[in-house]
């Protein structure tokens, strides 16, 4: 049946995502710097600066992986605040925890293995939720957005940092060539894994564009939604509030 087919396709995607991140975990940070020429640091910095997070607040860094955002939030919220790094993948969580411990980021950070589609937190709990390069990998995005909405406090905000659709054609073509032909080669050379980086290119192409994601956030209940294109729309930061 149609339903049966969908179920298989969904669990296949989740298995694939699990394989990809178990495989790339050890080389994840190095590959990020190589593939984006270090620009991911700028995108993440901008996300932090747009977060409005203050001392004493509670932040969820969802699909937090190796914890780049968690490390920055940990400093922002201070001793009286709390940052939860949640990720579905045990290998990524392990890398994240080791890295942050080595950086001396401890005390106000906790680590939770969780699926974004069914967050194990109380209602109205977080002041801010970020999901950075994570939503693309989630199978049921509507379910995940609804789950984020539930655990966000009234007045809280969601920030989605994700690959999006380049805003003009020549850039779009160059970017396609880069992601489908060059990325897998870098993946093969550095991480001995071309396949995972082929998945990356495909998942970027399949991901909803700026307006579609904004509409999905509205459907989940978020208000005052907006987005900001970076690097010509290769990446966009979406923001929405729960009132
Ligand atoms: N946020 C980090 C960053 O910006 O560098 C890591 C991003 S990494 C590309 C994507 C992460 O999403 C992986 O660590 C993966 O395990 C996680 N992920 C994938 N599906 C997930 C899900 N359903 N729930 C929670 N995390 C998920």
pLDDT of 191 reads: 85
β 126-132/58-62 pair status: parallel
The residue that leads in pLDDT, 150 or 168, is 150
Question: Which of 21-25, 127-131, 191-195, 201-205 has the highest mean predicted lDDT (pLDDT)?
Answer: 127-131
pLDDT confidence of residue 1? 45
Q: How far is the CA of 87 from the centre of ligand 1 (A)?
A: 6
pLDDT digit string, tens, across residues 160-192: 999 999 999 899 999 999 999 999 999 999 888
**Per-residue confidence (pLDDT) for residue 43, from 0 to 100:** 97
Whether residue 116 has its Cβ less than 6 Å from ligand 1: yes
**CB 138 less than 6 A from any atom of ligand 1:** yes
Gap from CA of 171 to ligand 1 centroid (Å):
26
Q: What is the pLDDT of residue 178?
A: 92
Q: Which of 27, 7, 2 is nearest to 140 (CA)?
A: 7
What is the 3-class SS of the chain, one letter each residue? CHHHHHHHHHHHHHHHHHHHHHHHHHHHHHHHHHHCCCCHHHHHHHHHHCCCCCCCCEEEEECCCCCHHHHHHHHHHCCCCEEEEEECCHHHHHHHHHHHHHCCCCCCEEEEECCCCCCCCCCCCEEEEEEECCHHHCCCHHHHHHHHHHHEEEEEEEEEEEECCCCCHHHHHHHHHHHHHHHHHHHHHHHCCHHHHHHHHHHHHHCCCHHHHHHHHHHCCCEEEEEEEEHHHCEEEEEEECC
Looking at every residue in the chain, the average pLDDT score rounds to: 94
Q: Ligand 1, atom 4: nearest CA belongs to which residue?
A: 132
pLDDT at residue 9, as a whole number: 75
Pocket mutation for ligand 1, best pick of 134, 143, 197 (most atoms within 8 Å of C-beta): 134
**What is residue 188's predicted lDDT score, i.e. its pLDDT?**
92
Q: Which of 55, 106, 60 is nearest to 85 (CA)?
A: 60
* Beta-bridge partners for 230: 235
pLDDT at residue 128 in the model:
98
Q: Taking Cα atoms as reference points, which of 137, 148, 167, 136 lies closest to residue 61?
A: 148
CA of 86 from ligand 1 middle (Å) equals 9
Average pLDDT over residues 2-7: 53
* C-beta 227 within 6 A of ligand 1: no
- Among 159-163, 183-187, 209-213, 214-218, the minimum mean pLDDT is found in 183-187
64 lines ligand 1 (CB under 6 A): yes
Highest mean pLDDT, choosing among 140-154, 161-175, 190-204: 140-154
* Mean pLDDT in residue range 29-56: 95
CA angle 111, 114, 118 (to 5 degrees): 140
pLDDT score for 4: 52
Average pLDDT on 83-99 reads 97
Q: Confidence band (pLDDT; 50, 70, 90) for 10?
A: confident
The mean per-residue pLDDT over the stretch 103-109 comes to 95
């Amino acid at each position: 049946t149609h339903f049966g087919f969908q179920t298989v396709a969904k669990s296949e995607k989740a298995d694939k995502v699990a394989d990809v991140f178990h495989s790339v975990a050890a080389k994840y940070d190095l590959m990020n710097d190589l593939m984006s020429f270090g620009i991911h640091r700028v995108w993440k910095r901008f996300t932090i600066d747009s977060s409005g997070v203050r001392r004493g607040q509670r932040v969820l860094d969802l699909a937090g992986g190796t914890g780049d955002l968690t490390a920055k939030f940990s400093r922002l919220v201070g001793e009286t605040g709390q940052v939860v790094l949640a990720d579905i993948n045990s290998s990524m969580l392990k890398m994240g925890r080791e890295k942050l411990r080595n950086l001396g980021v401890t005390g106000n950070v906790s680590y939770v293995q969780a699926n974004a589609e069914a967050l194990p937190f109380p209602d109205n709990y977080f002041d801010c939720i970020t999901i950075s390069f994570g939503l693309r990998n989630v199978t049921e995005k509507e379910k995940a957005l609804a789950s984020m909405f539930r655990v966000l406090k009234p007045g809280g905000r969601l920030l989605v940092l994700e690959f999006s659709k380049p805003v003009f054609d020549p850039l779009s073509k160059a970017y396609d060539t880069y992601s489908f032909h060059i990325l897998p080669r870098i993946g093969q050379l550095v991480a001995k894994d071309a396949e995972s980086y082929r998945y990356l290119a495909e998942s970027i192409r399949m991901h909803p564009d700026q307006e579609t994601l904004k509409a999905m956030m509205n459907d989940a209940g978020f208000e005052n939604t907006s987005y900001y294109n970076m690097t010509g729309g290769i990446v966009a930061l979406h923001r929405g509030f729960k009132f």
